[in-house]
Amino acid sequence: MLHAYQGNRFLELLDDCGFEVFLLNTGRIGGEDGDERSKKVTIPYSSAVVKAIAEGTITWERDPDFGYEVASALPGIDDMEILQPRRLYARQGRMDEYNAVVEKLRRERQAYLAKFAGLRQEILDAVS
């Protein structure tokens, strides 16, 4: 029950306090290390994202697969595939693979959250 309490409390803080939370990929997109189809999220890319967050210079759009906001433009990054991996998979003709990854992540997140009885429904719905 402690974890459900913590999850619910975190959502309450997000709702009541008006602060923002950012998730930053610092690894790869489009595959694992060694997959020549993938791209490395380099330190300059990560630095550009952190700087743009601090300066409020990111343009956001809703991600069609997960529903959260993803960057669509920011100073210092011209490669939109780094910001939106869906574009990389689409350009490479790998959308079936991308969709399978999305579904796998969704199932894993749902299974993980199902362990915590008492989580608010909107938390569970966020990964559906």
pLDDT at 18: 83
Mean of the pLDDT values across residues 15-22? 90
Question: What is the arithmetic mean of pLDDT over 72-90?
Answer: 95
Top CATH class, 2-125: alpha beta
How far apart are the C-alpha atoms of 121 and 124, rounded to whole Å?
A: 5
Task: Give percent of the chain above pLDDT 90.
Answer: 88
pLDDT at 19: 86
- Give 38-65 as a DSSP string: -EE--HHHHHHHHHHHHHT--EEEE-TT
- Confidence band, pLDDT 50/70/90 cuts, at residue 1: low
Of residues 116 and 1, the one with the higher pLDDT is 116
pLDDT tens sequence across 41-79? 999 999 999 999 999 999 999 999 998 999 999 999 999
**In terms of Cα–Cα distance, which of 92, 93, 70 is closest to 83?**
70
Q: What is the pLDDT of residue 2?
A: 66
Whole-number mean pLDDT of the chain?
A: 93
Question: What are the structural domain ranges in the chain?
Answer: 2-125
* Share above pLDDT 70 across residues of the chain, in percent, rounded to a whole number: 98
> How confident is the model over 72-95, as a mean pLDDT?
95
